[in-house]
Every structure is written in structure tokens, then in C-alpha cells.
Amino acid sequence: QLQVVESGGGLVQPGGSRRLSCAASGFTLDSYAVGWFRQAPGKERKGISCINNTNGRTYYDASAKGRFIISRDNANHTVYLQMIRLKPEDTAVYYCAVGSGCTVLAGSYDYWGQGTQVTVSS
């Protein structure tokens, strides 16, 4: 089956860091573009960043630049989202999405994980 799984969420102190991972079952993640999204309670799902499959180019939403870094480890077939200087407003469910091209638009992706909760609180 084709399945996308996020991991790495949890509770983190304000100002702290966290790294999320995205992996896949049933297909090779290396061949696809991967995007990260998040959805806070009562708000729309919003794109954070994405990374291309062919050239590895990365893209970031303006609100994410400077505190979020996306990367790909083909040896482990994994895409990461490194988050630093986290704030309480970063609290959300974070989703990994897989598609044919890199975009921060949710409708462009074919496969989605179930999400991993990140809570930023003291």
C-alpha cells in the first residue's frame, strides 16, 4: 500500500527545537516532491515548505523562513523538517505530503500522512 508517515512531534519548550521526519511505505519517497504543512486548531491547513525530487530545490512560505529548514536524506529515504526557536503559535498538527512537484499548495499533493502533533508550551 502507499502510505506516508510523519514522526518526531511532541512537547517542546518555547525557544526550543524539534526535527520532524517523513517516510513512506509501498513506494520510494526519493522519486517524489515532498511538502510540509501544518494546521492549528480552528485554522486552515497551511503550507510550510517543500523540496523537489529532481533537483532538490527547496521552497518556503514567507512565514517559515529563518526558523524552518527542509532537507532530504536519500540514503534513509526520509525528508526532514528542522524547526528552531519555536513559539507557542507554532503549535499545530504537522503533515507530510507527497506529490509530483514542489508547491506549498495542498491540492497539488497526492498522498498525505495522518499528522504529528507539535505542542510548544512551558
Write the pLDDT tens digit of every residue in 75-117: 899 999 999 999 999 999 999 999 998 988 888 899 999 999 9
List of residues 6+ apart from 22 with CB closer than 8 A: 4, 5, 6, 29, 34, 36, 78, 79, 80, 81, 96, 113
What digits encode the pLDDT tens for the residues 62-76? 888 899 999 999 889
Residue given cell 525530487 in the structure block: 53
Q: Report residue 107: phi and psi, to 5°.
A: -70, -10
